[in-house]
């Protein structure tokens, strides 16, 4: 079983203020024993052979990814390598034929960027549903709905950190039963060979993450950021 975090943001993200670089992330993840990472910055594929080789030297398989928007809802694309534009959910079918895995991040949290009912309406295009790290024991009903939907539609549940600060890592992640190569990881996700490892955030970390979300939202409003369906 390989330890994986497939939803991570780094300092190269164009829409969030993040203090660590991709290499600093890789160094930190290596100390925590991670085998697989996907950097999924907003609307920007941050991946190169040199970065992949750097991760490999640290014992980590780096999978290219991006978090983009479809009809104002966030979607994770894993193993996406080239720029593109998605007009609607139906366009995901083309990406899936190119060996891209599609994941619904934090779909039922009460944010405008979360898919909510759009996920249910377009469930056939998704390979996995995220189990978010952002919860407390007595405040976890959004993840519980994700679990219910994943079971109902036979979709793989994937534990991630959706990391914007280093302290968010290693509370919720996935163990993937596969070989250590990209194709094997993607196939394991499609087949459901993934086991979630999760524990609630410490209360202080929960509050820090909460205020980080508020700050990011305020920063985007001040910059008048308008997301579209493009990733580059």
Q: Where does the pLDDT of residue 218 fall: very low under 50, low under 70, confident under 90, or very high at 90 and above?
A: very low
Give per-residue pLDDT as tens, 36-47: 999 999 999 999
**How much is the pLDDT for 138?**
82
Give residue limits of the domains in the chain.
2-223
Q: Where does the pLDDT of residue 131 fall: very low under 50, low under 70, confident under 90, or very high at 90 and above?
A: very high
**Nearest Cα to 120, choosing from 100, 92, 150?**
150
Q: Label residue 161 exposed, middle or buried (CB < 10 Å: 0-12, 13-18, 19+).
A: buried
pLDDT cut 90: percent of the chain above it: 77
Residue ranges of the alpha helices (H) in 34-140? Answer: 49-57, 92-97, 117-121
**How much is the pLDDT for 226?**
64
**How much is the pLDDT for 223?**
53
Q: Where does the pLDDT of residue 16 fall: very low under 50, low under 70, confident under 90, or very high at 90 and above?
A: confident
- Who wins on pLDDT, 160 or 224? 160
**How much is the pLDDT for 222?**
43
Sort strands 2-8 and 36-39 into parallel, antiparallel or unpaired.
Answer: parallel
**How much is the pLDDT for 229?**
81
127 within 8 A of 156, measured Cβ to Cβ: yes
Q: Compute φ and ψ for 213, nearest 5 degrees.
A: -65, -45
Check residue 169 and report its DSSP letter: T
User: pTM for this structure?
Assistant: 0.93
Question: 54-81 in b/e burial notation, b at 16+ Cβ within 10 A?
Answer: bbeeeebbbbbbbbbbbeebbbbbbbbe
pLDDT cut 70: percent of the chain above it: 94
**How much is the pLDDT for 111?**
87
Under CATH, what is the fold of the domain 2-223? TIM Barrel (3.20.20)
**How much is the pLDDT for 140?**
94
Q: Where does the pLDDT of residue 215 fall: very low under 50, low under 70, confident under 90, or very high at 90 and above?
A: low
- Residue 197, phi-psi category: left (phi > 0), alpha (psi -120 to 50), beta (remainder): beta
Q: Tell me the CA distances in angstroms from 208 to 165, 171, 203, 215, 218, one per residue in order.
A: 9, 14, 9, 10, 15
**How much is the pLDDT for 28?**
98
Q: How far apart are CA 140 and CA 133, in angstroms?
A: 10
Give per-residue pLDDT as tens, 61-114: 999 999 999 999 999 999 998 888 898 999 999 999 999 999 999 999 998 889
Check residue 139 and report its DSSP letter: B
Give per-residue pLDDT as tens, 170-179: 999 999 999 9
């Amino acid at each position: 079983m390989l330890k994986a975090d497939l939803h991570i943001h780094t300092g190269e993200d164009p829409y969030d203020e993040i203090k660590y670089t991709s290499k600093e992330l890789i160094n930190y993840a290596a100390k925590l024993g991670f085998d697989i990472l996907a950097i999924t910055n907003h609307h920007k594929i941050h991946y190169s052979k040199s970065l992949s080789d750097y991760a490999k030297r640290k014992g980590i398989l780096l999978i290219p990814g991006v978090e983009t928007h479809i009809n104002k809802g966030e979607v994770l694309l894993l193993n996406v390598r080239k720029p593109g534009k998605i007009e609607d959910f139906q366009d995901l079918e083309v990406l899936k034929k190119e060996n891209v895995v599609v994941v619904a991040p934090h779909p039922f949290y009460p944010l405008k960027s979360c898919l909510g009912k759009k996920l249910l309406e377009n469930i056939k295009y998704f390979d996995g549903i995220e189990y978010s790290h952002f919860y407390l024991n007595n405040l976890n009903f959004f993840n519980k709905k994700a679990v219910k939907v994943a079971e109902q539609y036979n979709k793989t549940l994937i534990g991630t950190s959706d990391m914007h600060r280093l302290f968010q890592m290693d509370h919720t992640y996935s163990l993937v039963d596969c070989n250590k190569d990209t194709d094997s990881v993607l196939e394991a996700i499609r087949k459901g060979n993934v086991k979630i490892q999760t524990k609630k955030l410490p209360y202080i970390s929960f509050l820090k993450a909460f205020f980080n979300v508020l700050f990011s939202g305020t920063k985007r409003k001040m910059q008048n950021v308008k997301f579209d369906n493009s990733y580059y």
